[in-house]
Amino acid sequence: MMSGCPACAAAPMALETASGPALQFSVPGVHCAACIGQIERGLAHLNGVATVRVNLSLKRLSVTGSVDADAVIGTVTDLGFEVFPLDVASLEARRDDQGRALLTRLAVAGFAMMNVMLLSVAVWSGAAGATRDMFHMISAAIALPAVAYAGQPFFVSALAALRGGRLNMDVPISLAILMASAMSLFETIQGGTHAYFDAALSLTFFLLIGRYIDHRTRSAARSAARELTALEQHTAERLTGERSETVAVADLQVDDIVSVPTGARIPVDGVLLSQNALMDRSFLTGESAAVTLSTGDTLHAGEINLAAPLRLRAVSVGADTSLRRMAALVETAEHARNSYTALADRAARIYAPAVHGLALAAFLSWWWATGDLRLSLNIAIAVLIITCPCALGLAVPAVSTAAVSRLFAAGCLVRHATALERLAEVDMVLFDKTGTLTRPAVVVPDSLTARDRGVALALAQSSHHPLSRALVTALGNTTAATVTDLSEVAGQGICGRYDGMDVRLGRGPWLGAGFTGLGLWIGNATTQPLEVPETLREGVTDALANLDLPCEIMTGDSAGPANALAKQLKLPVIWDATPSDKLRRLRILTDAGRHVLMVGDGLNDTATMAEAHAAIAPATALEASRCAADVVILRDSFAVLPLILRVARATRRLSRQNFAIAAAYNAIAIPVALAGHATPLAAALAMSASSLTVLLNAQRMRGVQ
């Protein structure tokens, strides 16, 4: 049985936690709560361990305390799990400082707004003279520091836009907040009747809600290129004569001789010097089976050595390796995706200049007509507030948040801010095959006796290889036999002792059989083959039946299995496709005007997923592929795929409706403000009503099926 790891890396990754630096490891074999409990209990007794945490979704282990990484690796390995340390320098920090700051500013604005509104009630109730002036002064003392602090996200963005010689949505927002505050302070100092501190604070509060909603949508995205970098091996064993030394991979030179232990990733591209090797290159090529190599064959960075330790001669190092070149492709594609202009940003380009023009026209017109500077400023501020793009600022984030919640309830995680907008534009779907449309399965022959089934189950339960998991599922309610002395031979299978006999479950050649697939050997009996066909992932047939888009399969597998699946699903297929082939096909379709959705799970799909108009990955995908995806399907079934597209289209439709609501509100409110019939306070109340209407309209997303 092959024991290759679908994630990996090399040097320990340390994160600062409350209890000290944390060592981070990839544990790809973790698949349930029992696995988590076994690892956490097993490490809890290790000397120096303070805390142990296993993250099931990321399949990562975090250990804090004064403990050596090698001790952790040894203990987890003894527990029967593969474990690979991760490098912190190659991963992003997980702390969301920006989100925390936005939430703090939102709380300050809300608290100040409620207190100032309480003071305003006294003024509205008839307080006059010194009492009114005192309430205005208290309101100013509360509102001005709160606005200065809470409004910084808008002020900083607006200032940056003005310095760049352009306008964005934050420019009219900042002007409205600042002018309302400044005019209110002026009225307070002059002993005026009206002050609008509550209007300035309510503007800030509602707009911060939209900004925080938008940030939460964006914060799920992580760079796939960074994740690919984290997959690199960071140390290697360099051989000089008979002497071995551990060096940084960055220090390796072309023609260096490198030793690679069993289960480790190849650190650089090179030529195999050992007599033979068994490699798992599925995450590079998409091939579903391990590849047997002989002396002189090419090895690529990122492949996993499944069999005995091997030696290679380095050919490409550093930025020239296969993995690094793929990371460069992904990074280029991510930059292209990040240049996509969101719907709200496109609206801002038109809206912001129009708002400024109206406010300036109102000020100049009333000043020319009346000569009253205070009245003209009040009307101009009312126009700015009443046209303040609060509803526009909430239009897309409100709908997006409702859509994200709807999809999460259906078992899908949306990762990118513009994902739903791009998914709504999709007009073609490209599928990877292995691990995406298909999953490994094991067919248990009827010839297996109850004893054979029990032995097979006992052996399979001791391994975390996908085929072992599939066999455990296939054996159903079988009772496991008592098998002792269990051990796993990397790349070959599982062996043990049962009733005084040697028993094995693994690859045919290792069992001495004349086939290459999976087999069961008990004592001196003839090896019994176990058929291992690929089966469709649950929900694939339903998903394709309900997708109203042309679809195509691209796979690194050979023609046989590729054509068999294509015939079953009645879809065109491209086989033996390398990552470059997939990317080339995507670019051909894109140049033809297609908006392509890529659905994949492996390293060989990552660059194509990053460059596609939109991308979806299953939860079982490689971490880098999940990072490149716009949506991750958390459940095993793909039946939810059409719902994702329907929700995306509904998101676009409801967002446009919200823009229409905001436009209709402005069409009514702006003439009233221009005519001088709206005070800044009335304008703020009208603005709040339009914002609530937009939020209520977004809740219609709940009805999308």
Write out pLDDT tens, residues 235-258: 788 988 778 888 888 888 888 999
How far apart, in whole angstroms, are the C-alpha atoms of residue 656 and residue 650?
A: 10
How far apart, in whole angstroms, are the C-alpha atoms of residue 39 and residue 33?
A: 10
Q: What is the pTM of this model?
A: 0.58
- Residue 82 in tokens: 């593969």
* One CATH from 3.30.1540.10, 2.70.150.10, 2.50.20.10, 1.10.10.10 for 233-266+269-316: 2.70.150.10
> Residue 504: its pLDDT value, please?
92
Q: How confident is the model at residue 142 (pLDDT cuts 50, 70, 90)?
A: very high
Neighbours of 253 (CB within 10 A): 10
> Residue 272: its pLDDT value, please?
92
Q: How confident is the model at residue 328 (pLDDT cuts 50, 70, 90)?
A: low
Write out pLDDT tens, residues 527-563: 888 887 778 888 999 999 998 899 999 988 778 888 8
Query: Which backbone phi and psi does 436 adopt, to 5 degrees?
Result: -105, -65
> Residue 335: its pLDDT value, please?
47
How far apart, in whole angstroms, are the C-alpha atoms of residue 492 and residue 506?
A: 6
How far apart, in whole angstroms, are the C-alpha atoms of residue 576 and residue 591?
A: 23
Write out pLDDT tens, residues 410-459: 878 777 767 888 899 999 999 998 778 987 778 888 888 999 999 998 88
Query: Which backbone phi and psi does 635 adopt, to 5 degrees?
Result: -90, 165
- Which architecture characterizes domain 13-90 according to CATH? 2-Layer Sandwich (3.30)
pLDDT at 376 over 70: yes
How many residues in total does the chain contain? 705
The single residue of 170, 432, 452, 557 carrying the catalytic annotation is: 432
pLDDT at 227 over 70: no
> Residue 76: its pLDDT value, please?
86
- Residue 152 in tokens: 């910084």
How far apart, in whole angstroms, are the C-alpha atoms of residue 93 and residue 223?
A: 12
pLDDT at 616 over 90: yes
> Residue 460: its pLDDT value, please?
86
Range scoring the smallest mean pLDDT among 132-146, 150-164, 420-434: 150-164
Q: How confident is the model over 194-218, as a mean pLDDT? A: 74
Say which amino acid occupies 68.
D
Closest by Cα among 43, 25, 30 to 85: 25
How far apart, in whole angstroms, are the C-alpha atoms of residue 29 and residue 579?
A: 26
User: Helices 641-674 and 680-698, interaxial angle, to 10°?
Assistant: 160
Write out pLDDT tens, residues 482-528: 888 888 776 678 889 998 899 999 888 888 888 777 899 998 888 88
> Residue 213: its pLDDT value, please?
67
How far apart, in whole angstroms, are the C-alpha atoms of residue 304 and residue 490?
A: 11
CA angle 247, 251, 255 (to 5 degrees): 100
Consecutive H or E run containing 106: helix 97-124
Question: What are the beta bridge partners of residue 487?
Answer: 495
**For residues 428 and 281, is the Cβ–Cβ distance under 8 A?**
no
- Give domain limits for the chain: 13-90, 233-266+269-316, 442-532
Instruction: For tokens 């051990």, name the residue.
Output: 487
* One CATH from 3.40.1110.10, 1.10.3720.10, 3.90.199.10, 3.30.10.20 for 442-532: 3.40.1110.10
The question of whether 96 is a catalytic residue gets the answer: no
Residues 6+ apart with CB under 8 A from 532: 440, 441, 442, 443, 467, 470, 517, 518
**For residues 574 and 549, is the Cβ–Cβ distance under 8 A?**
no
pLDDT at 17 over 50: no
